[in-house]
Amino acid sequence: MLINKNSYIEAIPSNQNDQRIQSFITEIENFENSDLSAKVNSLNNKNIYHYTQQEDVELGLFLQYKGEYILRLYGWSDNENGDIFYNSAIMIIHKMEVPVWETSKTHQFIDIQVTKSNGEKLLNALSKYEFKCKIIILDLPQTIFETFPSSQQQQQQQQEELSVITDNDNNEISTNAEIFFKAYRDLDSIYAWYDLLVDTYPDILNVEYIGNTFEGRPMKALRLSVHSESKTNSIKTVVITSGIHAREWVSISSSCFILYQLLSDYENGNLAVKRYLEHLDFFFMPVMNPDGYEFTWKSERLWRKNRQQTFNPRCSGIDIDHSFGFQFTSGFESPCSDDYSGESEFEALESYNWDRYLNETKHDHPIYAYIDLHSYAEEVLYPYAYSCDVLPRDEENLLELAYGLSQAIRLKSGKYYEIVKACEDKGADLLPSMGAGSALDYMYHNKAYWAFVLKLRDSGTHGFLLPSKYIVPVGKEIYAAVKYFAAFLLSDKY
């Protein structure tokens, strides 16, 4: 169903009797009036620092989110009325330009970043519908603060790096990995870690330079191949990318984790992994958006796009995942929007560099399969993203594989990743441009026979701010899916 968003310009009377609005306001007021020292103490009792206690970080990094809350709309009915609510809510949120974290029709939630005032307005606008709502993150600055490594973890990491660099011992890297995956890592640490891995596995791992970003940072990828250079043009490549959206940190830690597991399982003589690597090459691009990622560490934790200049000097950044040259739609959003696609295809330097690199190397390294890691919602998405009216080729097998990936995850961790058509997930059935120019469609159409997006954890209450204790569990479940994928590609049928 297509909805013209302008048709939602309507005056909405305030509904003072709506219980949902009342509890929304009361919860925020109670929080704002609560005593800071009590809050600090209760955190300290759990061995967690409060962000105001941290000495060596820029407080503004957290304080800028004061007065903002993550509100979840959920619990609408599973019928036509529910659909009407869902579509209307999306359109009104869009029109009010309230930042959207995630929408999931299958898990039934819409998470948005609101202030007290626009949250109240929005709930007012929706008050004629049946649904529930709750604030899932009340203390946004503190929740953001807790996703950064503690200063103790940072020191530990630096010491470990030094010890590995000085003696370059194979045993050290595994110790290092245990430390490395304890916390999220910034770009410098991740790039330093690439070099350590290549030092440790020089015969099978290479760092490849893809190009430079707008702010001049190198885009680096890693090629894992146990084959001699002369043979690689007959070997199928599996490509795994992540971090195209800067704030989705767990996607980056997960692709690093998968790479690390493949390397150590291969080294330890794991028979299945040996077989995968004898028949497949793996190509990892863990930080697809280095400028944006760096920006989430230094300036705005919840930044999504790259950092490129646009025609509007007040608003920078292109959503790389709308910038690819397949079914591209130019500038359907304003440059200030999180979904801004740019004025022309491949305007985002990251998508341009990626396309050029793949074209230059495609004869030596034919791509066969693609996984793009995002967060969050726990979903497996399959093509196409741009339209629900177009059937993907080989849909039956694509679906079978999607179910297999989901099952591999469930067997590993018990988490249930829903299988969703990417167009539905993106809302392309509602606003066609929302699914335009995606990396998924571009890779599926031009490069990879099999292509998926995995949206990682959680579907609970952390969203983009998944605590670092989940880095390894998420890494493990996605590694299980990648191994399933590899086994599928090697099976006789395909």
- Residue 442 C-beta: closest distance to Zn ion, Å: 15
Query: Closest CB to Zn ion among 224 and 422?
Result: 422
Q: How many CB atoms lie within 10 A of CB 143?
A: 22
Q: How far is the CB of 289 from Zn ion (least distance, A)?
A: 10
Cβ-in-10-Å burial (0-12, 13-18, 19+) of 406 comes to buried
Beta strands in 387-439 (DSSP E): 418-421
Q: Which residue, 196 or 244, has its beta carbon nearer to Zn ion?
A: 244
Instruction: Check: CB of residue 267 under 8 Å from CB of residue 194.
Output: no
Please state the closest distance from residue 440 (CB atom) to Zn ion, in A.
11
CB of 324 to Zn ion, least distance (A): 14
Nearer to Zn ion by C-beta: 374 or 421? 374
Identify which of residues 245 and 483 has a Cβ nearer to Zn ion in the complex: 245
- Nearest residue (CB) to Zn ion, 24 versus 452: 452
Give the interface segment with Zn ion, choosing from 38-46, 141-149, 368-376, 415-423 (CB under 5 A): 368-376
Which residues are within 8 A (CB) of 301 and not within 5 positions of it... i.e. 6 or more apart? 61, 65, 144, 147, 247, 465
Contact letters for Zn ion, residues 328-367 (x by CB under 5 A): ----------------------------------------
Q: How remote is the C-alpha of 110 from its chain's centroid?
A: 16
Name the residue among 107, 3, 157, 80 with its Cα closest to residue 415: 107
185 or 245: CB nearest Zn ion: 245
Measured in degrees and rounded to the nearest 5, phi and psi for residue 455 equal -100, 115
Neighbours of 390 (CB within 10 A): 11
Question: How far is residue 468 from each of residues 144, 182, 184, 364, 456, measured CA to CA in Å?
Answer: 11, 7, 6, 38, 14
- CA 373, 70, 95 angle in degrees (round to 5)? 85
Which residues from 217-246 bind Zn ion, rule CB under 5 A?
Answer: 245
Count of residues near Zn ion by CB under 5 A: 2
CA 395 to chain centre: 25
- CA distance to 12, 255, 293, per residue, from 287 (Å): 43, 9, 8
Q: Which is nearer to Zn ion, 245 or 365 (CB)?
A: 245
Instruction: With contacts defined by CB under 5 A, name the span among 21-29, 182-190, 199-207, 374-382 that binds Zn ion.
Output: 374-382
Binds Zn ion (CB under 5 A): choice among 247, 374, 426, 445: 374
Least Å from the CB of residue 455 to Zn ion:
7
Residues 237-296 that bind Zn ion (CB under 5 A): 245
Q: Does 426 bind Zn ion (CB under 5 A)?
A: no
Closest approach, Cβ 450 to Zn ion, in A, equals 20
Q: Which is nearer to Zn ion, 50 or 421 (CB)?
A: 421
Encoding tokens for residue 160? 């470990």
- Closer residue to Zn ion in complex, CB, 266/452: 452
d(CA 244, CA 252): 9
Q: Which two tokens stand for residue 66?
A: 């004061």
Q: Which stretch binds Zn ion (CB under 5 A): 138-146, 167-175, 372-380, 387-395?
A: 372-380
Q: Would you call 197 helix, strand, or coil by DSSP?
A: helix
CA 357 to chain centre: 23
Two tokens at 75?
């619990």
Residue 374 beta carbon to Zn ion: minimum distance, rounded to whole angstroms: 3
Nearest distance in Å: CB 245, Zn ion: 4
Query: Please, what is the minimum distance in Å from the beta carbon of residue 183 to Zn ion?
Result: 21
Task: Tell me which amino acid residue 355 is.
Answer: D
- The nearer residue to Zn ion, 422 or 471, going by C-beta atoms, is 422
* Closest CB 216 distance from Zn ion, rounded Å: 24
**Interatomic CA distance for residues 450 and 370, integer angstroms:** 6
Q: Which is nearer to Zn ion, 199 or 338 (CB)?
A: 338
φ, ψ (nearest 5 deg) of residue 181: -90, 10
Residue 281 beta carbon to Zn ion: minimum distance, rounded to whole angstroms:
25
Name the one residue in this structure whose structure tokens are 């493949």.
262
Query: Smaller CB distance to Zn ion: residue 101 or 283?
Result: 101
Q: What are phi and psi of 314, to 5 degrees?
A: -80, -20
Q: In angstroms, rounded to a whole number, what is the distance separating the alpha carbons of residues 337 and 342?
A: 11
Q: How far is the CB of 438 from Zn ion (least distance, A)?
A: 10
Q: Give me the count of residues in the chain.
A: 494
Binding region for Zn ion (CB under 5 A) out of 33-41, 76-84, 110-118, 369-377: 369-377
Binding site for Zn ion (CB under 5 A): 245, 374
